[in-house]
Amino acid sequence: MYRFDLSLVCLILISFFATSLSASELPNIVYILCDDLGYGDVQCLNAEHGKIKTPSADRLATEGMVFTDAHSGSSVCTPTRYGLLTGRYSWRTKLQQGVVTGFAPCLIAADRPTVASFLRDQGYQTAIIGKWHLDFQYCDPQTGEPYRAKDFKSPPVGTKIPDGPIHRGFDYYHGFHHARDMQTVIENDTVVAHDPPINMLPRLTEKAVEYIDTHAQDEKPFFLYVPLGSPHTPILPTAEWQGKSGLGDYADFVMQTDNTLGEISDALDRNHLTDNTLVIFTSDNGCSKAAGIKQLAQQGHFVSGDLRGSKADIWDGGHRVPFIVRWPGKVQPGSHSSQLICHVDLLATVAQIVGKAMPAGSGEDSVSFLPALSGDPIVSSRAGVIHHSVSGHFAYRQGPWKLALAKASGGWTSPTEKQAASDAPKAQLYHMTDDLGETSNQYLTQPEIAASLLKQLKEDIRRGRSTDGPAAKNDTTKIKLWKSEK
């Protein structure tokens, strides 16, 4: 990325897109976020060791652009979703590690703009069909009093939600909170059903297709955010998909998830919406250990491709994700981009697409990747991208260099931080172009590079933002930079 004063450049680009796109020309935007889909689980991204058939994702890649260096905001669920919707890293909030579990006030502050609220202000219809996982309260419909998690396995039908997606910019919501509460089906602000988890993926597929069919003829464009619950646990392929892969339940579930992308693509085709719809297919983090990673590898399938680690880790297998973009007429079919991007970049990107500045007090870490869709360099005031693991370990990526403030995986892959050798360096430094598998730690041999990256990381944390802009601050003062240092 290129870093310099952007004020004039941004004004020119915003002006260009504002005059280039009329209201009727604004694209529909469909953002499909898989749950725990590894980089190597998409066959076209893992030619040598990808054994799971993903024809829909492969087709999307031939019709659009593959980003080979795209990252989630974290190596686990909740932080990534927060960053995707707000353009701000989740560790700037009270959530310093792990994920949320519901039955609590929403992690996104009521006054914080989101991608959905911003696009709605620009005339978009906005919908989320799928997994929220950013906390909300379940309340008694009669008294309004919040229920407690210990009192309910599943909140009763009729339970009200006062701070969910429709209170954070979405016009419509159908889905669930998180995997352990998947049987609780929610529509808008109400629990509407209890349904076995095996039915959730078919339900979300049907609802997403139904939404496209229903809104195909509307004058307003739509933003459809589809955060699937698959192939995350519970790994439950339906009878139609069981045994299809020949590699086990997880691979079957990946194939069924890929089919959901196919059903959505078919709905866009059928309604003649494909040519004016930006589709992004991606994942929230790397593949989970629950998939049976070792067993899959024995069958020749590497869930992270050539990357080290998987879900929860600070190594790239934890947060480098599939990222495929199709936008006919704007994105060259069969193209690739090696530019560094992150899920937090969605807000700045859609702002540039519609030709409007991001709302005040938003998008502190967001950079538009729109230029990359045309094969141009991303113009950025952000020096690099910050990574975060399940346990809150930080890493900083700038150009080819990556500094990880962890002795080992910082997550669930062995060696974990507790398993790291007593004489292991307190940090790791890798050249990601020459050493994609993160095998040669240069922290002790390249101290100047490590010091420079650490200085920039500290500055990005201190300023409350990693991009140029008005002064900002973090929601907490309890951001601990070193977590494995004795």
Long-range pairs of 398-401 with CB within 8 A, sequence gap ≥ 24: 398/453, 398/456, 400/431, 400/432, 400/433, 400/434, 401/429, 401/430, 401/431, 401/432, 401/449, 401/453
pLDDT at 152: 87
Q: Is the peptide bond before 415 cis (omega within 30 degrees of 0)?
A: yes
Answer for the pair 224, 28: CB distance below 8 angstroms, yes or no: yes
How far is C-alpha 451 from the chain's CA centre? 29
SS (H, E, C) 121-156: HCCCEEEEEEECCCCCCCECCCCCCECCHHHCCCCC
CA 279/CA 324 separation, integer angstroms:
8
Question: What's this model's pTM, rounded to 2 decimal places?
Answer: 0.95
Backbone angles phi and psi of 428, in degrees to 5: -130, 140
Which residues are within 8 A (CB) of 429 and not within 5 positions of it... i.e. 6 or more apart? 401, 402, 403, 404, 441, 442, 443, 446, 449, 450, 453
Same fold, 28-374 and 385-463: no
Q: What is the crossing angle of helices 77-86 and 346-354, to 10°?
A: 20
Contact 336/436 with Cβ under 8 angstroms? no
- Residue owning tokens 């934890």: 318
- Determine the pLDDT at residue 23: 62
Torsions phi, psi of 341, nearest 5?
A: -135, 170
Residue environment code for 250-277, b if the CB has 16+ CB neighbours within 10 A, otherwise e? bbbbbbbbbbbbbebbebbeebebbebb
Q: What are the average pLDDT values for consecutive 10-residue runs of the chain, which has 486 residues?
A: 42 44 82 98 97 98 98 98 98 98 97 98 98 98 95 94 98 98 98 98 98 96 98 98 98 98 98 98 98 98 98 98 98 98 98 97 98 97 98 98 98 97 96 98 98 98 97 96 84
CATH 3.30.200.20, domain 385-463, yes or no: no
Q: Would you state the pLDDT for residue 431?
A: 98
Exposed/middle/buried for residue 199 (C-beta within 10 Å: 0-12, 13-18, 19+): middle
Q: What is the pLDDT of residue 486?
A: 57
HSE toward the beta carbon, residue 454, CA cutoff 13 A? 16
pLDDT of residue 13: 47
- Taking the domains of the chain in order of start, what are their residue ranges? 28-374, 385-463
Give CA torsion, residues 94, 97, 99, 102, to 10 deg. Answer: -30
CATH T-level fold of 28-374: Alkaline Phosphatase, subunit A (3.40.720)
How many Å apart are CA 399 and CA 283, to the nearest integer?
Answer: 23
Residue carrying structure tokens 């990556």: 402
The residues pairing with 154 across neighbouring beta strands, listed in sequence order, are none
